[in-house]
Amino acid sequence: MNNKAMIIGAIDAGKTTLINELVGNDAKAAKTQTLQYHQWIVDTPGEYTENPLFYKNIMATSFQMTHVIYVQDATTIKNIFPPGFASGIPKLSIGVVTKADAEDANIERSIEQLKKVMIRGPIVVTSAVHKRGIDYIKPLVNCRTYEEMKQFVEQTDDAYLIYLDK
Ligand SMILES: Nc1nc2c(ncn2[C@@H]2O[C@H](COP(=O)(O)OP(=O)(O)O)[C@@H](O)[C@H]2O)c(=O)[nH]1
Ligand SMILES: [Mg+2]
């Protein structure tokens, strides 16, 4: 596929673990120090999102992408993205909640956090431990428009996949 996604989010949010699941990499996620290009998805260090000095790197990398994936860790109340962050990046937005399996996960709170970041787009709730939600991500990155992503969500009857429309 020609479409490409960049994944961004806090340090330890579960970005690399998620990508390993998506590309079938068995290695345990090590700390991500630089951009990691895979076939259709690009991993970024959490510092890119946590430190505003790196926003220009996010912007520069996003030029080559069709999609940007905003990751929210379900186990943290910490808001890592500035409000409306996605509105400054003119690419298709996908929200992903990670660690849905964790004992201290709060999925509702995570969705609310992503709603403050994204204007619209799908939100996928995932667990790398239970292998849930993850399979929705590649088909969403295959979509070329918000309309296509919305259709995909509407065709899929799963509470772990929602569509945010404002
Ligand atoms: N319980 C649980 N832990 C996870 C999940 N995904 C990642 N983790 C853990 O979160 C930590 C950080 O993961 P990592 O992928 O390195 O995060 P990154 O810094 O965003 O790339 C690791 O200890 C992972 O094992 C998940 O779905 N469930
Ligand atoms: Mg990483």
Q: What is the CATH number of the domain that holds 22?
A: 3.40.50.300
Distance CA 76, CA 53 (A): 23
Cα–Cα separations (whole angstroms), residue 155 to 10, 15, 117, 141, 150: 31, 26, 25, 16, 9
Distance CA 20, CA 6 (A): 14
Distance CA 14, CA 59 (A): 21
Contact residues for 93 (Cβ-Cβ < 8 A; gap 6+): 67, 68, 70, 86, 118, 119, 120, 121
pLDDT tens for the chain, residues 1 to 166: 799 999 999 999 999 999 999 998 888 888 888 899 999 999 999 999 999 999 999 999 999 999 999 999 999 999 999 999 999 999 999 999 999 999 999 999 999 999 999 999 999 999 999 999 999 999 999 999 999 999 999 999 999 999 999 7
Q: Which domain, by its residues, includes 143?
A: 5-164
The per-residue pLDDT for 1 is 72
Residue given tokens 């970005």 in the structure block: 15
CB 123 within 8 A of CB 86: no
Ligand 1 neighbourhood includes 61 CB (under 6 angstroms): no
Q: Output the CA 22–ligand 2 centroid distance in Å.
A: 14
Q: Which atom of ligand 1 is nearest to the CA of 31?
A: 16
Instruction: Count the domains in the chain.
Output: 1
Distance CA 155, CA 115 (A): 22
The per-residue pLDDT for 27 is 81
Ligand 1 neighbourhood includes 122 CB (under 6 angstroms): no
The helix or strand, by DSSP H or E, that contains position 68, with its residue range, turns out to be strand 67-73
CB 94 within 8 A of CB 140: yes
CB atoms within 10 A of CB 28: 8
